Amino acid sequence: MNYRHAFHAGNFADIFKHAVIALVLEYLKQKDTPFAVVDTHAGLGRYDLTADEAERTGEWRSGLGRVLASSARPPGVALLLKAVAAVNGGQKPTAARPPRWYPGSPRVARAALRAKDRLFAAELHPEDSRALEREFGGDGHVVVKRMDGYEAIKAWLPPKERRGMVLVDPPFERKDEFAALLKGLKDGYRRFATGVFVLWYPIKDRRPVDGFHKNLAATGMRRILAAELLLRPPSDPETLNGCGLVIVNPPWKLESDLACLVAELGEIFDAVPPKRSGHGQSSAVWRLVGE
Ligand SMILES: C[S@@+](CC[C@H](N)C(=O)[O-])C[C@H]1O[C@@H](n2cnc3c(N)ncnc32)[C@H](O)[C@@H]1O
């Protein structure tokens, strides 16, 4: 387990993913009934942007840094910035006063929970899972466990609330991660077919992504959206050229928010216009499988 998210926290991919989960949770809150969030690859929970790891790559500067420097507030981004403020003692982040702490996905989720909602977070790395346990120690709304994220899907689904979101955000260190992600989704969907599943994937080379989409479409599951943000054409398979999210059972209206989010983040991050992304669609947000 070599991947450490501390080098990448607050980069363009985090902003995209975290804005989307903040939006999904906002939609879930439109109903009064409680929900659960399951975060299968949760990371540390919060990241120090002044630490050596973050300083060494500087990735957050071209992610969160650019967002703070822009006046645009695409859907989900204002919600994300609230979560950023929450881990910085309520201090509103600005370009002139960038925050010290950036929230990981469990902190973004936690910022959205109501008193009746719960968060389940799995992390396998020994040090990171200990840090995550400390982060949420004494918080009765959060369950943290050191375990494999795909096992967590089997252990925690369905939640007793029977409503909620499952985030699957693996590090893609394994050669077979796309296959594992697909299997994890099938396992989760079998247990919790009404849940909203959000899966993150890197776009280095187009081929494995297209294969993943094809396999998703063949599962028989309905209502699957894909949304992608490409910084450059995916011609160098050694580089993170962009990233995508697959959302199963997206809340109604999420699709139009996503289109707006991708377009506006695209401008903030100088991304490649969607029609050149090569997935054969004229948009960077599309239905892999319809109703
Ligand atoms: C991309 S990072 C997660 C970032 C986090 N979801 C966020 O958005 O803030 C992936 C995390 O998965 C952890 N990890 C790696 N293999 C895992 C596994 N099999 N099960 C659970 N966690 C794992 C890594 O240690 C790393 O912290």
Distance from residue 214's CA to the centre of ligand 1 (Å): 25
Q: What is the pLDDT tens value at each position of the chain, 291 positions in all? A: 899 999 999 999 999 999 999 999 999 999 999 999 999 999 999 999 999 999 999 999 999 999 999 999 999 999 999 999 999 999 999 999 999 999 999 999 999 999 999 999 999 999 999 999 999 999 999 999 999 999 999 999 999 999 999 999 999 999 999 999 999 999 999 999 999 999 999 999 999 999 999 999 999 999 999 999 998 888 888 889 999 999 999 999 999 999 999 999 999 998 777 654 455 555 699 999 998
Distance from residue 54's CA to the centre of ligand 1 (Å): 17
Residue 200 CA: which ligand 1 atom is closest?
1
pTM of structure = 0.96
Check if 272 has its Cβ closer than 6 Å to any atom of ligand 1.
Answer: no
Residue nearest to atom 27 of ligand 1 (CA): 43
CA 218 to chain CA mean position, Å: 24
Residue 170 CA: which ligand 1 atom is closest?
10
Check if 255 has its Cβ closer than 6 Å to any atom of ligand 1.
Answer: no
Check if 135 has its Cβ closer than 6 Å to any atom of ligand 1.
Answer: no
Distance from residue 259's CA to the centre of ligand 1 (Å): 27
DSSP H or E run through 226: strand 224-230
Distance from residue 289's CA to the centre of ligand 1 (Å): 27
DSSP letters of 54-103? HHHH-GGGGTHHHHHH-----TTHHHHHHHHHHTTTTPPP-SSS--SEEE
Residue 103 CA: which ligand 1 atom is closest?
9
> Of the listed 14, 39, 128, 169, which one is catalytic?
169
Helix, strand, coil content of the chain in percent (nearest 5): 40, 20, 40
* Mutation choice for ligand 1 from 4, 123, 181, CB with most ligand atoms inside 8 A: 123
* Mutation choice for ligand 1 from 2, 4, 5, 153, CB with most ligand atoms inside 8 A: 5
169 is catalytic: yes
Residue 47 CA: which ligand 1 atom is closest?
9
What does DSSP say about strands 101-103 and 46-48: parallel, antiparallel, or unpaired? antiparallel
Query: CA angle, corner 124, sides to 118 and 128, nearest 5?
Result: 85
DSSP label of 120: E
Check if 145 has its Cβ closer than 6 Å to any atom of ligand 1.
Answer: no
